A and B are shown apart, each in its own frame.
Chain A
Amino acid sequence: MIRDQAQAWATEQAPVAAFRRMRDAGVANRFEPATWESMVEMGWTGILVPETYGGSDLGYLTFGVVLEQLGRQLTASPLYASALVGASAVLLGGSDAQKEALLPKVVDGSEILTLAVDEGPRHTPGTMATAAEADGDGYRITGRKAQVLEGMSATAFIVAANGPNGIGLFLVPADASGVSRTALSTVDNRGYAHVDLVDVRVGGDAHLGDADVLEAVLDRARAGLGAEMLGVASQAFDMTLDYLKTREQFGRVIGSFQALGHRAADLYSQMELARSCAEAALMAVDAGAEDTAELCSLSKAKVGDFLHEMSNQLIQIHGGIGMTDEFDAGLYLKRARALEPLWGNQAFHRDRYARLLGF
């Protein structure tokens, strides 16, 4: 049911044409406020949040269904960063008081959370320079976080930093003294920012758990992103298949050439396998399965591989038209490549999977 709702809404209210218009208009936060308000109204910000805090507690698989449909249209919003990644951090690492303070605001959209982990061009969640020193009954945080998703629109950052117990997560309001941010202009036109923290003073209640929580939050972020990436890739596949059936050269539709028919068969098969991985990761998170970490890495890597290949074939099979900015293929290629490195690219997750399997 929610799939139909998400599909209908995304294709009618927030289609890729709207993303293009937003890009061309140069909207500051890289999403339309009205789009975000509709998502809040439909309750999508509360999909992970328990009913006590105003959510619907439907779980990650359901969130994945929505993200897949948004991925298909490249719909831009802080939904993923705040209501999936941010909410996960609060749910996993927060005290009852923190949940009470934050979750209802995540649900009503007045608070936009985002996770700030990496400090350079690569995903290295195990090492960081940002420090959170004990300071009276709170912490004093200094460091720089790179390429923070929705970094310009966030109202609070969940910052990973070296604290008194090793790596920990700390909630830092975006308007806290010592926080500054720089908007980035990237090829995919999504909202990112570098965030600088200089002697930022937060209270003792800003602490949201330690390294184990960060790892669990990252896996949820990866599982959710796998669903969005699957959506981007599925749409690219559908566009390509449609073109194979309609474009004529040499007096016949190009899909009748065996070289292209076999390529389409390969891509379709890869898509089916990638879908299984994406769904398995989300279900493992929902079930609290023992192999959740393995499956989240599997999803990020296999969906990433498929999206990489599919986005290239989207351009190749469309030929010259695929190279034009007027056609949408380029938007999908750019989004594809921007999502691959987020929370670890395929190489990162292959290495992690091998370590989890003991080799």
Chain B
Amino acid sequence: MSDALEAFRAEARAWVEENFPPSLAGKGMGMEGELDGDTKADFELWRARLGEKGWGAPTWPQEYGGAGLSHPQAKVVSEEISRVGGLNPIPALAGMGITMVGPTLLEYGTDDQKARHLPATARGEVRWCLGLSEPNAGSDLASLATKAEDKGDYFQLNGQKIWTSGADISHWCGALVRTDPSAPKHKGISFVMLPMDQEGVETRPIRLISGASPFCETFFNDARAEKSDLLGDLNDGWSVVKRLLQHERQSQTSAGSPMASAKSKAIQDVAKEYAGTDDSGALADGDLRSRLVNHLMDARSHSLTVRRITAEAKGQVKVSAAASILKNSATRISQTKSELTLEIMGAQGLGWEGAEFTAEEKNTVREWLWGKAISIYGGSFEVQKNIISKNILGLPETTQKG
């Protein structure tokens, strides 16, 4: 590591030590009543201090609420926060704001849009959801039907979105809407931003096979999006959303399951506990052992690939075509891990509720079910393969043109 980065680490460490409220060490996001009155106030203080420092979105420019840091510096910041047992709550509080909407706004937004939306997002005060998929527009997103009519100063939206993560608690929504029904399907689409707290917007949470979920259905009935909140050019929303989805893939390339806790036990140790070992210390179930080692090798080769691609990009985490490779590989590893854990736990892995099952066991079954979504959202397994074959390998388009 360079001297400059080491100097930055010393600075970051000093700031974290001075500003991180020790009462929050080892505490989560306060979702499960983990925080009482005092720690709640500390949580709010910590969020505000991080926001003020620009570390909610550290790589964004300072004028838009970031800290103008390089990616290696941002990594140092998150390492230093982890070191004291803390976490940065802002990316989660902002919903899709930090990972997807913000980077796209920085690229496509006007100065006015960036000034109005980014600073509050970077402080974790504004939560964003995305209205992209519709009941009849999933992998074929460009066939979406939600209509936006030009009403002079504003667009009037009518239609239904689905899988809008966190819509019921979000402040703003970035929505893909049809602004020119007569144009070919990719050409008549625009990207608009609208506040969720208005009469024409209604949300309904969706219960999944794994239980409660952050997903919602979102209904627009004469909802209003201001013209000044059109992102990118009119009828050029497809370019905006392609970029947005690249940012999404990039954020989904890590093989860690979204529900797995950092403290979770290594899968080989779980296997030894449930399936037993022979005299040599090897797993007694030879078939399981070879599938397990195969999985662990896949996981290792994935993380080595993330490291290699990052190094080849010289520290700049580029949004690249490689994201499709990494998303699919992360998906496969995560789903295989869930299937293996479920198999290892046997009948105990089927527990849904009650004291007869450990928290780990009940979490495993939910994680397994939830994991089925990973190969569907953010561009399905098959869509990623289309992207690889067309964009990286230069093979002809395999899907229908529209």
Interface size class of A (residues with CB under 8 A): 35 or more
The smallest C-beta distance from A258 to any residue of chain B, in angstroms, reads 4
Contact with B along A238-271 (1 / 0, CB 8 A): 0001001100000011011110011011101100
Contact A264–B289 (Cβ < 8 Å): no
A359-B385 in contact given A350-B297, A353-B296, A353-B297 (Cβ < 8 Å): no
Contact B325–A264 (Cβ < 8 Å): no
A 343-359 contacts with B by CB, 8 A:
347, 350-351, 353-355, 357-359
Partner-contacting stretch, out of B122-130, B349-357, B386-394: B386-394
A277-B304 in contact given A253-B396, A353-B296, A357-B296 (Cβ < 8 Å): yes
B 303-339 contacts with A by CB, 8 A:
304-305, 307-308, 322, 325, 328-329
B 240-282 contacts with A by CB, 8 A:
268, 271-272, 277, 281-282
Q: Is A218 an interface residue (CB 8 A)?
A: no
Contact B305–A272 (Cβ < 8 Å): yes
Task: Tell me the bound Cα distance from A348 to B302 in angstroms.
Answer: 21
The smallest C-beta distance from B239 to any residue of chain A, in angstroms, reads 24
Contact A359–B395 (Cβ < 8 Å): no
Task: Tell me the bound Cα distance from A353 to B388 in angstroms.
Answer: 31
Q: Is A301 an interface residue (CB 8 A)?
A: yes
The smallest C-beta distance from B380 to any residue of chain A, in angstroms, reads 12
Task: Tell me the bound Cα distance from A354 to B386 in angstroms.
Answer: 35
Q: Is A211 an interface residue (CB 8 A)?
A: no
Task: Tell me the bound Cα distance from A302 to B300 in angstroms.
Answer: 10
Contact A276–B307 (Cβ < 8 Å): yes
Contact A258–B398 (Cβ < 8 Å): yes
Q: Is A298 an interface residue (CB 8 A)?
A: yes
Task: Tell me the bound Cα distance from A262 to B394 in angstroms.
Answer: 12
The smallest C-beta distance from A77 to any residue of chain B, in angstroms, reads 29
Q: Is B397 an interface residue (CB 8 A)?
A: yes
The smallest C-beta distance from A249 to any residue of chain B, in angstroms, reads 13
Chain A residues within an 8 Å CB radius of B290: 347, 350-351, 354
Q: Is A273 an interface residue (CB 8 A)?
A: yes
Q: Is A274 an interface residue (CB 8 A)?
A: yes
Smallest CB gap from A252: residue in B: B396
Task: Tell me the bound Cα distance from A358 to B280 in angstroms.
Answer: 10
Contact B281–A273 (Cβ < 8 Å): no
Contact A354–B282 (Cβ < 8 Å): yes
Q: Is A68 an interface residue (CB 8 A)?
A: no
A261-B308 in contact given A272-B325, A273-B329 (Cβ < 8 Å): no
Chain A residues within an 8 Å CB radius of B292: 354, 359
Contact B293–A353 (Cβ < 8 Å): yes
Q: Is A280 an interface residue (CB 8 A)?
A: yes
A354-B307 in contact given A256-B397, A272-B322, A277-B301 (Cβ < 8 Å): no
Chain B residues within an 8 Å CB radius of A264: 389, 393, 395
Q: Is A150 an interface residue (CB 8 A)?
A: no
Q: Is B283 an interface residue (CB 8 A)?
A: yes
Contact B398–A256 (Cβ < 8 Å): yes
Contact A355–B397 (Cβ < 8 Å): no
A 319-359 contacts with B by CB, 8 A:
347, 350-351, 353-355, 357-359
Task: Tell me the bound Cα distance from A302 to B308 in angstroms.
Answer: 16
The smallest C-beta distance from A294 to any residue of chain B, in angstroms, reads 8
Chain B residues within an 8 Å CB radius of A257: 398
A280-B304 in contact given A261-B386, A265-B393 (Cβ < 8 Å): yes
Task: Tell me the bound Cα distance from A264 to B389 in angstroms.
Answer: 7
Smallest CB gap from A253: residue in B: B396
Chain B residues within an 8 Å CB radius of A276: 301, 304-305, 307-308
Task: Tell me the bound Cα distance from A13 to B325 in angstroms.
Answer: 35
Q: Is A279 an interface residue (CB 8 A)?
A: yes
Smallest CB gap from B302: residue in A: A273
Q: Is B107 an interface residue (CB 8 A)?
A: no
Chain A residues within an 8 Å CB radius of B289: 354, 359
A 265-304 contacts with B by CB, 8 A:
265-266, 268-269, 272-277, 279-280, 294, 298, 301-302
The smallest C-beta distance from B132 to any residue of chain A, in angstroms, reads 23
Contact of B389 (CB < 8 Å), options: A261, A353, A358: A261
Q: Is B82 an interface residue (CB 8 A)?
A: no
Chain A residues within an 8 Å CB radius of B398: 256-258, 261-262
Contact A265–B305 (Cβ < 8 Å): no
Task: Tell me the bound Cα distance from A255 to B388 in angstroms.
Answer: 13
Chain A residues within an 8 Å CB radius of B304: 273, 276-277, 280
A359-B301 in contact given A257-B398, A264-B389, A350-B290 (Cβ < 8 Å): no
Task: Tell me the bound Cα distance from A268 to B385 in angstroms.
Answer: 10
Task: Tell me the bound Cα distance from A353 to B297 in angstroms.
Answer: 8
Chain B residues within an 8 Å CB radius of A354: 268, 282-283, 289-290, 292-293, 296
A 12-37 contacts with B by CB, 8 A:
none
Chain A residues within an 8 Å CB radius of B271: 359
> Which residue among B308, B329, B384 has the maximum number of chain A CB atoms within 10 Å of its CB?
B308
Contact B385–A261 (Cβ < 8 Å): yes
Contact B297–A262 (Cβ < 8 Å): no
Contact B268–A358 (Cβ < 8 Å): yes
Chain A residues within an 8 Å CB radius of B277: 359
Smallest CB gap from A291: residue in B: B300
Contact A359–B305 (Cβ < 8 Å): no
> Which residue among A265, A266, A298 has the maximum number of chain B CB atoms within 10 Å of its CB?
A265
Contact B385–A266 (Cβ < 8 Å): yes
Contact A256–B294 (Cβ < 8 Å): no
Contact A265–B322 (Cβ < 8 Å): no
A269-B308 in contact given A241-B393, A298-B297, A354-B292 (Cβ < 8 Å): no
Contact B329–A269 (Cβ < 8 Å): yes
A265-B385 in contact given A256-B398, A357-B268, A359-B292 (Cβ < 8 Å): yes
Task: Tell me the bound Cα distance from A241 to B396 in angstroms.
Answer: 12
Q: Is B17 an interface residue (CB 8 A)?
A: no
Contact of B328 (CB < 8 Å), options: A256, A269, A350, A353: A269
Task: Tell me the bound Cα distance from A214 to B95 in angstroms.
Answer: 55
Q: Is B382 an interface residue (CB 8 A)?
A: yes
Contact of B325 (CB < 8 Å), options: A252, A268, A277, A347: A268
Contact with A along B370-390 (1 / 0, CB 8 A): 000000000000101110111
**Would you mind naming 9 contact pairs between A and B with Cβ atoms under 8 Å apart?**
A268-B392, A273-B329, A275-B308, A279-B308, A294-B300, A302-B301, A350-B297, A354-B292, A357-B293
5 nearest CB pairs, A to B: A261-B389, A265-B388, A256-B396, A276-B304, A258-B398
| A interface residues with partner B (beta carbon < 8 Å) | 241, 244-245, 252-253, 255-258, 261-262, 264-266, 268-269, 272-277, 279-280, 294, 298, 301-302, 347, 350-351, 353-355, 357-359
Knowing that A262-B398, A302-B297, A354-B282 touch, tell me 4 more A-B residue pairs with CB under 8 angstroms: A255-B396, A258-B386, A265-B392, A272-B325
| B interface residues with partner A (beta carbon < 8 Å) | 268, 271-272, 277, 281-283, 289-290, 292-294, 296-298, 300-302, 304-305, 307-308, 322, 325, 328-329, 382, 384-386, 388-390, 392-399
